[in-house]
Structure 1
Amino acid sequence: MKAVLFANTDWYLYNFRRSLAMSLRRQGYDVLLISPPGPYGAKLRALGLRWEPLPMARRSLNPLREAALLWHLVRLLRREQPVLVHGFTIKCAVYGSLAARLAGVPARVNAVAGMGYVFTSSQMKARLLRPVVRGLLRLALGGRGARLILQNADDVALFQQAGLVDPQHIRLIRGSGVNCAQFALATRTRSADDERPRVLLACRLLWDKGLDEFVNAIRQLRLQGCSLHALLAGTPDPGNPATVPEATIRGWVAEGLVTWLGHVDDMAGLLASVDVVVLPSYREGLPRTLVEAAACGLPLITTDVPGCREVVTDDVDGLLVPKGNSEALAHAIRRVLEIPGLAQRLGEAARLKARTQFDEHIVIEHTLEVYAELCDPLAAPAESSP
């Protein structure tokens, strides 16, 4: 059987779904990965995986360009004749499912990790697009041959209430999976010339990840005389309207508030060098950064919002703070740094949860079960024929 995995960046396929692709190949699937062009396509090919670039612009609203992309996908699927298409993020879910229907692909799986810019932003552009995207989602996600994978219970309830998809076709799989053993085995490292506790925010540099709250919290802690080293890992995302301008980030660096690390390939190594991980996001699917930090046994501080509270239970394996509240974030950071034994207690509980709920083996197993729901009935007639 052939499966197509479709994402809006090659970076996403490489970092979040390559283990799934490798597992599918071991299961006997012929796997094709597709995304807009980028440097990670070569890395996927180096693993022996098939990858093809698409003429896709994430921010495009040009009807002619979007129609051309849809027709390109239809032709590709007719050429490949897969039994299943799996799309990631809302745009890929819509376009991949519509193209699969037009190309006669029998099985469609879509994984929506969070509601995306259109549903989370209060900007006029997002509000105008919302009803259009809702209609497209209903069209793309419907049908007996479709399954929708969501990453947290809040999104399940939202999709059910909105009537976007048959509730019987929704599956809850928490996250994209993390190799917990890889992160747990990372050697703890610290710089000999800086003994200050290190607080890390690692994410795409978007306003809705809580960057403003993080920087303001650090500013407050400095004014309170709290000694710490604030690290910011990640890069701006020009494909997202909520991206933080690089000039703003460099201004924070010049102010002495944060050290900007840029893109970090070795997240296990970085996490092994820090003391606390924070993510003051406004909404998530299920944040991989928090799971990776949990696998390392680090204390977590995040917001009490969908996705984040799937990973953190307040005062059990981390601390939850209100969204958009830099004062509460600063207070939580200070608690973890100053209360004896708190960081260790939270970190140990976080590691246990990561291993038992979010390890990639668990996520891949559940994903293959969804594939089997759709693909096994298709294969049965051929297997039973003489």
Structure 2
Amino acid sequence: MKKKLLIVINNAKFFLSHRLSLAKAAKVANYDVHVATPVSPLIEKIKEEGFSYHAIQIDRCGFNPFKDIFALFSLWKLYRRLQPDIVHHVAIKPVLYGGIAARLAGVPAVVNALTGLGFIFIAQSRYIRILRSILQQGYKLVFQHKNTCVIFQNEDDRTQFLQTKLLDPNNSVLIPGSGVSMSAFYPMEEMPGVPRVILASRLLWDKGVGEFVEAAKILKQKKIDACFILVGGIDSENPAAINQKQLEHWESEGLIEWWGESTEMLAIMHRANIVCLPSYREGLPRVLVEAAASGRAIVTTDVPGCRDVVCDGENGLLVPVKNSEELASAIEILIQNPELRKEMGRRGRARVESKYELDKINFQTMMVYETLLKKIS
């Protein structure tokens, strides 16, 4: 008899980009796969893949007591109606509210995947510190489910949760990201012309976009010939979002080009000479894994998540967080050393193949499912 798997995620686009291959692998392994996301124009694509779809109402960002209580209640109703054997929550709100709902509904096995600790673990205002304390207590409640596993994408995040005694270490596992297909991302010779330095991400201040633009300004003043490009959309729901007026101002000053959002990431990687992500903190940044698989040298920050993908001096350069001068210096080194870029790109692809290859990552997650389900069989 097929085991019923429900994947709960607060963004249909993120499911298709990061978890679709896992859902397909589960289907091949004879799971009855269900997917729950907020309503989106992408729902039909999920259905076309052969998965049962369920609409949920859960915001990605912010805290609204009324909306959040309703989200928790709606998840509880879904779990009671669907009776899944195992639920896989992805991201902060699904983990928190879905985890509580799963305990109340008696879901027999629960996987909680933390894809990063988010804005609330980066900001340090008094209000955010209070919210963080409340969130930690919520996590502690969720992680006390009798048959659960928490998936972390990097060891720093896992250590932080263990040190604050939010979970039993036996109920956690490290799986580095969602994996990248080595056939979908492959190397190609750099394009001729002015070197392109590309930052591809959601356009948020805590992705280091401000430092990226400042580094572009520093190198422009030094007469270093390079083109700095932002690829990504405006995430208006996020409190750290950069608005369109600011982006247009930077463009008008000739500091950057803004190419907007793109789903053609392989083409973006092939147009880059250097991929840059000066983020303040990550889970395991897929864009850097894609860059490495595509044979591109990387400049990123020495922070959780980013330093997991990049080994300093091997497949890229690590710089201190929030330091535009050091960022500019590292970018300049790679701009002026095409052979070093090429060698770093070669090493980066080998690193991805050994640690982040898609089938290996999916297999690790499937083993988590099997371990939990054995306890209830």
Same fold (TM over 0.5): yes
Q: Which residue of 2 aligns with 1:93?
A: 95
Q: Which residue of 1 aligns with 2:367?
A: 369
Secondary structure of residue in 2 paired with 1:262:
coil
Could you tell me which of 156, 165, 170 is aligned with 1:168? 170
Could you tell me which of 294, 297, 302 is aligned with 2:292? 294
Q: Which residue of 1 aligns with 2:124?
A: 122
> Is 2:34 aligned against 1:32?
yes
Deviation at 1:48, TM superposition (A): 1.9
Q: Which residue of 1 aligns with 2:330?
A: 332
- Counterpart of 2:210 in structure 1: which amino acid? D
Q: Structure 2: any 5+ residue segments left out of the alignment?
A: none
Over the residues paired in the alignment, what is the CA RMSD in angstroms?
Answer: 1.4
Q: Which residue of 1 aligns with 2:86?
A: 84
Q: Structure 1: any 5+ residue segments left out of the alignment?
A: 380-386
Q: Distance in 2 between matches of 1:157 and 1:38?
A: 35
Deviation at 1:340, TM superposition (A): 5.0
Secondary structure of residue in 2 paired with 1:136:
helix
Q: Which residue of 2 aligns with 1:159?
A: 161
Could you tell me which of 142, 145, 169 is aligned with 2:144? 142
Q: Distance in 2 between matches of 1:279 and 1:309?
A: 11
Secondary structure of residue in 1 paired with 2:7:
strand
Q: Distance in 1 between matches of 2:155 and 2:62?
A: 30
Query: Alignment length, in residue pairs?
Result: 375
Could you tell me which of 231, 241, 250 is aligned with 2:248? 250
Q: Distance in 2 between matches of 1:370 and 1:340?
A: 42
Q: Which residue of 1 aligns with 2:301?
A: 303
Q: Structure 1 vs Structure 2: percent identity of aligned residues?
A: 38
Q: Distance in 2 between matches of 1:58 and 1:198?
A: 32
Secondary structure of residue in 1 paired with 2:224:
coil
Paired residues of 2:190 and 2:273 also in contact (CA < 8 A): no
Secondary structure of residue in 2 paired with 1:368:
helix
Paired residues of 2:103 and 2:145 also in contact (CA < 8 A): no
Instruction: Provide Cα deviations, 1:187-208, integer angstroms capped at 9, x if missing partner.
Output: 5574x7xx10111000111110
Measured at CA, do residues 124 and 42 of structure 1 come closer, stay the same or move farther in structure 2, by a change above 3 Å?
Answer: farther
Q: Distance in 1 between matches of 2:62 and 2:206?
A: 21
> Is 2:206 aligned against 1:208?
yes
Q: Distance in 2 between matches of 1:212 and 1:163?
A: 35
> Quick check: 52-61 or 328-337, which moved more?
52-61
Q: Which residue of 1 aligns with 2:115?
A: 113
Q: Which residue of 2 aligns with 1:356?
A: 354
Secondary structure of residue in 2 paired with 1:241:
coil
Secondary structure of residue in 2 paired with 1:204:
coil
Deviation at 1:322, TM superposition (A): 0.3
Q: Which residue of 1 aligns with 2:186?
A: 184
Paired residues of 2:198 and 2:274 also in contact (CA < 8 A): yes
Deviation at 1:60, TM superposition (A): 4.8
Moved over 4 A (4+): none
Q: TM-score, length-normalised on structure 2?
A: 0.96
Q: Which residue of 2 aligns with 1:20?
A: 22
Q: Which residue of 2 aligns with 1:259?
A: 257
Q: Which residue of 1 aligns with 2:229?
A: 231
> Quick check: 56-65 or 358-367, which moved more?
56-65
Q: Distance in 1 between matches of 2:148 and 2:9?
A: 17
Q: Distance in 2 between matches of 1:38 and 1:262?
A: 20
Deviation at 1:67, TM superposition (A): 1.5
Q: Distance in 1 between matches of 2:140 and 2:204?
A: 28
> Quick check: 117-126 or 267-276, which moved more?
117-126
Q: Distance in 2 between matches of 1:164 and 1:247?
A: 41
Q: Which residue of 2 aligns with 1:384?
A: none
Instruction: Provide Cα deviations, 1:87-142, integer angstroms capped at 9, x if missing partner.
Output: 11111101111111111111010110111111111234322201110110000112
Secondary structure of residue in 2 paired with 1:82:
coil
Q: Distance in 2 between matches of 1:58 and 1:202?
A: 20
> Is 2:101 aligned against 1:103?
no
Paired residues of 1:94 and 1:141 also in contact (CA < 8 A): no
Could you tell me which of 219, 223, 228 is aligned with 1:221? 219
- Counterpart of 2:279 in structure 1: which amino acid? S
Q: Distance in 2 between matches of 1:325 and 1:333?
A: 12
